[in-house]
Amino acid sequence: MPTTTSGVYWDSQGPCDGPPVLLLEGYTGQLIGWREEFCTMLTDKGLRVLRMDNRDIGLSRHEPEGTTYTIADMANDVREVIDSADIDQVTIVGQSMGGLIAQHVALNHPEVVAGLVLFYTTPTRMDINENVFEGDILIPRTRDEAIEFFLEGNRNTMSPSYGYDESAQRQLAGQMYDRAPDQSGIPRQREAIRQMPDLTERLPEITVPAALIHGKDDLLISHQGTMRLWHQLPHAELHLYPGLGHEIARALWSDFAEIITRTTRLSLNATTPH
C-alpha cells in the first residue's frame, strides 16, 4: 500500500470515485483501530475510505530518539497523504488526538478540507485528563505485555452503557503488535499533545460542515471539549451520548456511519458550485 515521500503510511478502500473520507486515529492508535467492519459500512454507502498511521506509530516512519514535533506537524502529514492520494478535498474524521490533528488541518490547510467529523476531542488541553500526561510510559517488550498494557488502558476508555468486548480488544492489541511492535514513539506523541496551542478563538475560521460526537462518560477528554467546539464552529451539529466513554462503541457503529455519510454529503453540497 502507499507511503508518502516522507514515510507516512496510508491505505484506501471503496470506490475510487466515491466521496473521500480520511480516518485519523488517536494517541498510540494504528489505522487498524478503524475496524474493517466499520469501514465496510462506509464503503457500502459509496464512500472512498482512507486511513493513515500517524508518525511514530504503525507502518509510518518512527522518528529518531530526541526528536520533537507538534500537532501542526502531524497535520502537515495529513496534507501529504491527501496529496499522495490525488484528492482535491476530503472529509476528515478524527478521534481524540486525531480530532486535534483534524482541527489543525482545517485551520492550516483549509483548501483540502470539505468537512469534519470529530469524535471525543477538544480545542484545548484543559479538557484532557491530566493523568494522560503524568508518569512514565511503559513500552512493552513482548507481545503478551503489549496486550496487557493495551487492556489496562481500556479501563479508562470503556463505556458504562455499551459493554466491553475484551476478546475483540485483545485481538486488536495482538494485531497491532504483530503489524508494528515498535512503540518507542509514544512519548513523542504525548509531548505533541502536551504542547498543543489553544485553538478555541480560531475555530470560527472553520466554516465547513462539521459533526461533533462525544460520550458524557468519557474519562479521558471531557465532553466540555466538544461543547467548546459546538459553540465556536458556525456549521456544526452536536451528538452527545449518555453512557458512552472514550471509544467508538460497536453498538453505535450504524449511528456513526450515518453521521459520517450525511456530513460527507453535506460537504459535497457545500463545495459544489451552483
- Residue 274: pLDDT above 50? no
Is residue 151 within 8 A of residue 166, CB to CB? The reply is yes
Average pLDDT, the chain: 96
Average pLDDT over residues 115-134: 96
Residue 56: Cβ-neighbour burial (10 angstroms; 0-12, 13-18, 19+): buried
- Residue 217: pLDDT above 70? yes
CA angle centred on 46, ends 265 and 122, rounded to 5°? 50
- Residue 96: pLDDT above 60? yes
**Per-residue confidence (pLDDT) for residue 271, from 0 to 100:** 62
Percent of the chain with pLDDT over 90: 93
**Per-residue confidence (pLDDT) for residue 273, from 0 to 100:** 45
Return the bridge partners of 116, or none. Answer: 92, 210
Asked which of 7-16, 99-108, 133-142, 247-256 is least confident by mean pLDDT, the reply is 133-142
Average pLDDT over residues 203-228: 98
Distance CA 221, CA 270 (A): 30
Distance CA 57, CA 235 (A): 33
- Residue 248: pLDDT above 60? yes
Q: pLDDT of 40-63, one tens digit each? A: 999 999 999 999 999 999 999 999
In sign, the C-alpha dihedral spanning 146, 253, 22, 190 is negative
CATH superfamily label, 10-135+182-271: Alpha/Beta hydrolase fold, catalytic domain (3.40.50.1820)
